[in-house]
Structure 1
Amino acid sequence: LQRDSVVMFSFLLFAVPIQLVVLTKLNILYCGLYQTHLCDMELNHHCNSIDFEDVIAEPEGTHSFDGIWKASFTTFTVTKYWFYRLLSAIFGIPMALIWGIYFAILSFLHIWAVVPCIRSYLIEIQCISRVYSICIHTFCDPLFEAIGKVFSSIRATVRKEI
């Protein structure tokens, strides 16, 4: 795909009329793959259902004029569409940069600090747990066995008196 893109890009430099068609096809291919990937991951699926009826709903028995309702619907939909595009154009790349740096740092710390610390802790605690186990078996087991033998000789009988 990369080699084909380079060939197409170099071809596009010389063929201006064909450029729009090829770029459109590449864009459709890219957007199709991108959208399919996002749909499979179901990221932000809760944002897909933000429609006019989900935000502004008139209860039964209370309705505005049809013209007002249609104008409100159009205003809401167009404003949401274009304002999202404007915000994406202004803040999309900086936010992608910030989140890329954040997740790179998070991955780095997880790989090079968190997991080694946890492994080290588990190795150290294993040694301590062996010492603790020996102490418990040495001091507590005989005590509880003796207490168990004392109470094992107790016999209880239950009588029902009428």
Structure 2
Amino acid sequence: MAETKSASRSGSKLNLNESTMPLLDDEAHEKAETPEKDVIEMKEKASTTSEGEKDDSNPEKIEEEKKDGDEEGGDKKKKKKEKKEKKEKKEKKEKTASCHRRTQSCVQTFTVGLNVLDRDEKHINDTINLNFEDVLAEPDVAHGFDPIWRSAFILFTGSRFWIYRLLSALLALPLALIWGITFSLITFFSVWFATPILRIMDVFLFYIRRVWVALVQTTLEPVANAVGGCFSNVKLTHNNQLQTV
């Protein structure tokens, strides 16, 4: 009985040792295979990462991406600054252009319909529309030197043109103001005084005329018709022959 117990114990120990040995070998084998598996899994993760996603397992890549992001951010800031400067320049240009347009638009709006080319459409000043040929002329009998005639033409036309321009530049605006005020007073007087007074006189004279015509038709017209009928048969003859004595 003792031998069987010892044999059973030794057999059980051997069985336990045999049973434990492959377990240890499997764990060691798995431990040896884990780094290779980790590398494979890391590669698969890196390959399966989509565009725009970051792989946090590689710090070098993260630093490079950060640098790239910083550079892209700096480029974006520069582009934004350039865009802002361009916008500011455009706004300044638009403001200056709008100021010029406003001044031009005001002048253009107040001078709509003004004929700048033909400034005397109604021919008011045709009497002074005179050129050099209308004022000075040499007949065929008396011709001076050609250079003198040409210089006289230049002096006449130039002096008339530039002196008129200078005087108009100095006095046109104040005289335009004066004549505008005078004609505005005339129109004001005619609109608010003369025309209403004349209209009142027309009304009163209309009634006076009507009464006067009625009186004449009832009193003087029958008498005049009767006297005209009495002298209607009277005939007068006129003889121009001379009578000799």
Same-fold call, TM cutoff 0.5: yes
Give the distance between the partners of 1:109 and 1:116, measured in 2 at CA: 10
Give the distance between the partners of 1:11 and 1:144, measured in 2 at CA: 85
In the alignment, does 2:205 pair up with 1:125?
yes
Structure 1 partner of 2:115: 34
Structure 2 unaligned runs (5+)? 1-92, 236-245
Structure 2 partner of 1:72: 152
TM-score (norm 2): 0.47
**Where do residues 66-105 of structure 1 align in structure 2 (5 Å cutoff)?**
66-105=146-185
Larger Rg: 2
Give the deviation of 1:133 after TM superposition: 1.0
Give the deviation of 1:126 after TM superposition: 0.8
What secondary structure does 2:125 align onto?
coil
Closer, same or farther: CA 89–8 of 1 in aligned 2, 3 Å: farther
Give the deviation of 1:76 after TM superposition: 0.9
Deviating 4+ runs (over 6 angstroms): none
RMSD after superposition: 3.2
The code of the aligned residue for 2:179 comes to: W
Structure 2 partner of 1:11: 97
Q: How many residues align?
A: 136
Counting aligned pairs with the same residue, the percent is: 34
Structure 1 unaligned runs (5+)? 1-6, 14-18, 157-162
The code of the aligned residue for 2:221 comes to: D
TM-score (norm 1): 0.68
Closer, same or farther: CA 151–9 of 1 in aligned 2, 3 Å: farther
Work out which structure has the larger RCO, using CA pairs closer than 8 Å and 6 or more positions apart in sequence: 1
Closer, same or farther: CA 8–85 of 1 in aligned 2, 3 Å: farther
The code of the aligned residue for 2:125 comes to: N
Give the distance between the partners of 1:59 and 1:104, measured in 2 at CA: 50
